[in-house]
Amino acid sequence: MESEESLAIRIPESNKPRVVIVGGGFAGIQLSRNLKNKGVQVVMLDRHNYHTFQPLLYQVATAGLEPDSIAGPLRKVIENYEDFYFRLAKVEHIDGDRKTLKTSIGEINYDYLVIANGTKTNYFGNEKKFEKAFPLKQVPQALDLRSHILQNFEQALITDNEADREELMTFVIVGGGPTGVELAGAMGELKKHVLPHDYPELNLDKMKIYLVEGMDRLLLGMSDESGDRAMKYLKKFEVDVYLNKMVASYDGETVKFNDDSVIKARTLVWGAGVQGNVISGIRSESVEKSRILVDTYNRVQGYESIFAIGDIALMKSEDWPKGHPMLAPVAIQQGKHLADNIGRLISKRELKPFEYTDKGSMATVGRNKAVADLPGKMHLGGFVAWLIWMFIHLISIIGFRNKLVVFSNWVWNYFTYDRGTRLIIRPYVQGKTPKEEHTELPIEDSVSDSGTS
């Protein structure tokens, strides 16, 4: 029988305090970068060895970008960092009393634990009813959706049944936040500018794109003006928008709604929300609505040495009674702030409370079409908002190479309407979509359905 010591993750011993970070998303990366030279040993755990820039996953799914342009190796992101260690692992349990994490590769002790593992898709308790829906939270899921879309059109070319052909060219997107709006706009661009050249034998007027939102307007986390503009832009792309309507179930061919109406479609993309991916071992009283309750220092309620940042953290205040929005800027700011506070803890100085600086929200609906809510109640739309959206996302992408690749792709697409990644590299097989694991495992810090910036 193996000894207890043999089960430990191999990390060099150090006389420095050990900070273990669960999750290599926006929050985790920002924290680890700012812990450099703080006199701590940093260990990052993630079930993937890469960081994903999730705001652009929809462009991978619609053949606008290759996945390696929005993803980068975590070891590359934090290179030349003394006493930093990354381990590919799934976190299974937290033992707060022993200050120990149980993972798929062994146990590891910590002095300070930071939970930054983000969120997973929220089916609101109806997972069984949407097993054949496509989530869009991870790179493999985006690639599967891309293959599925292209395979549908290939199949539409060879079928003799008109009803089957129309079902193959019908796409339903659930969720009217930025994820759904941006994906619907990208699909609209494919319909108008790309697919007619690839499939001249098909009548693309038969291609239908539906965006379904349960509330009374789009982009609920943004201004009414931005929601109205997004609706106008989507109509130009011939997207049918259903408001105050909810999807009840999907069996791979039929979309059933709460009013008993149906749509026949071979594709349903789920972008209707996320929920926190809470790790086993966190006390139930420290969790509310699948997010971990934290104080103004991002310390988990009921624990002295465990912190949570990013989407998983729920920090209530007078200004934010429901917690901060689940956005990348919040995660980045919390990561930077917590690094400073961990330095203060070590040097026994007073901690500083976190204060979020809201720099606005934005969403793009396609070429020259975007909406932006900026500080000072400034609401922009059209070409100017689109340029701002591109600039903000470009500078936020990690790695100079990725910035260059994304920029060159965008320039090429803008002038040619051509998307060179319309490749079925890995054919999608129904039922093989890599659904997110609903066990308590770390995933990248994600951007919620409320916006990207």
* Cα–Cα separations (whole angstroms), residue 192 to 57, 239, 266, 340: 21, 11, 20, 49
Q: Considering only residues 111 and 451, tell me which one the structure prediction assigns the higher pLDDT.
A: 111
DSSP reduced 3-state for 407: helix
Position 436 confidence tier, pLDDT thresholds 50, 70, 90: low
Judged by phi (left if over 0) then psi (alpha if -120 to 50, else beta), residue 287 lies in: beta
The pLDDT value given to residue 418:
80
pLDDT at 8 over 70: yes
Q: Taking residues 221-250, report their average pLDDT.
A: 96
What is the structure's pLDDT at 125?
87
What mean pLDDT is predicted for residues 368-394? 95
pLDDT of 2 over the 50 cut = no
Residue type, 181: V
Cα–Cα distance, 218 to 229 (Å, whole number): 9
Mean pLDDT of 358-363: 93
CB 293 within 8 A of CB 314: yes
pLDDT (mean) for 117-140 = 93
Query: What is the β-pairing status of strands 378-381 and 369-374?
Result: antiparallel
Mean pLDDT of 152-178: 97
User: With contact defined as beta carbons under 8 Å apart, do 275 and 125 qualify?
Assistant: no
Residue 4 has pLDDT above 60, yes or no: no
Mean of all residue pLDDT scores within the chain: 91
Q: Output the six-digit token pair for 279.
A: 């790790």
DSSP 397: S
Q: Is 115 helix (H, G, I), strand (E, B) or coil?
A: strand
pLDDT band at residue 441 using 50, 70 and 90 as cut-offs: very low
pLDDT of residue 168: 98
Question: Residue 437: pLDDT above 50?
Answer: no
Rg (CA), the chain: 22
Q: Which of 335, 337, 360, 336 is nearest to 450 (CA)?
A: 360
One-letter amino acid of 314: L
How long a stretch of residues is the chain?
A: 453
Name the amino acid, one letter, at 40: V
User: Binning pLDDT at 50, 70 and 90, where does residue 453 land?
Assistant: very low
Mean pLDDT of 278-303: 97
Amino acid in the structure at residue 177: G
- 366 within 8 A of 233, measured Cβ to Cβ: yes
Range with lowest mean pLDDT among 4-8, 119-123, 152-156: 4-8
List CB contacts of 167: < 8 A, sequence separation 6 or more: 253, 264, 265, 266
pLDDT > 50? residue 217 = yes
DSSP-assigned letters across all residues of 48-73: SSEEE-GGGHHHHHTTSS-GGGSEEE
Give every CB contact of residue 261 below 8 A, 6+ residues apart in sequence: none
Q: What average pLDDT score do residues 238-262 get?
A: 96
Looking at the predicted structure, is the pLDDT value of residue 452 above 50? no
pLDDT band at 344 (very low <50, low <70, confident <90, very high): very high
Q: For residue 80, name the pLDDT band (cuts at 50, 70, 90).
A: confident
Strands 170-174 and 208-212: parallel
Confidence check: pLDDT of 438 > 90: no
Across-strand partners of 115?
22, 308
In this predicted structure, the answer to whether residue 424 has a pLDDT above a threshold of 70 is yes
- Indicate if the pLDDT at residue 395 is higher than 70: yes
Q: Please give the pLDDT value at position 416.
A: 85
For residue 421, the model assigns a pLDDT of 81
Q: Which residue would you say has higher pLDDT here, 447 or 258? A: 258
| Cβ burial, residue 120 (10 Å; 0-12/13-18/19+) | buried
pLDDT at 445 over 60: no
Query: 165: pLDDT confidence band, cut at 50, 70 and 90?
Result: very high
Whether the predicted pLDDT of 79 surpasses 90: no
Active site residues: 182
Chain segment 179-199, per-residue pLDDT in tens: 999 999 999 999 999 999 999
Query: How are strands ordered across the β-sheet holding 41-46?
Result: 84-88, 41-46, 18-22, 112-115, 306-308
| Pairing between β-strand 267-270 and β-strand 106-109 as defined by DSSP bridges | unpaired
Six-digit token pair at 155?
Answer: 């199949």
Sequence-ordered list of residues with C-beta below 8 angstroms from that of 96, at least 6 positions apart, any chain: 281, 282, 283, 303, 305, 306
Q: Decide: pTM greater than 0.75.
A: yes
pLDDT band at 56 (very low <50, low <70, confident <90, very high): very high
Task: Please state the rounded mean pLDDT for residues 159-184.
Answer: 97
Sheet containing 291-293: order of strands: 287-288, 291-293, 313-314
Rounded Cα distance between 445 and 117, Å, is 5
d(CA 67, CA 423): 12
Q: If we measure between CA atoms, which residue out of 405, 398, 293 comes closest to residue 74?
A: 398
Is the pLDDT at 443 greater than 50? The verdict is no
What pLDDT is recorded for position 431? 64
In this model, does residue 400 exceed pLDDT 60?
yes
Mean pLDDT, rounded, for 369-381? 94
pLDDT at 7: 83
pLDDT band at 433 (very low <50, low <70, confident <90, very high): low
Distance CA 318, CA 362 (A): 25
d(C-alpha 234, C-alpha 194), whole Å: 17
| Max CA pair span of the chain | 74
- The DSSP letter of residue 363 is E
Alpha helix segments (H runs only) across 102-174: 139-158, 162-168
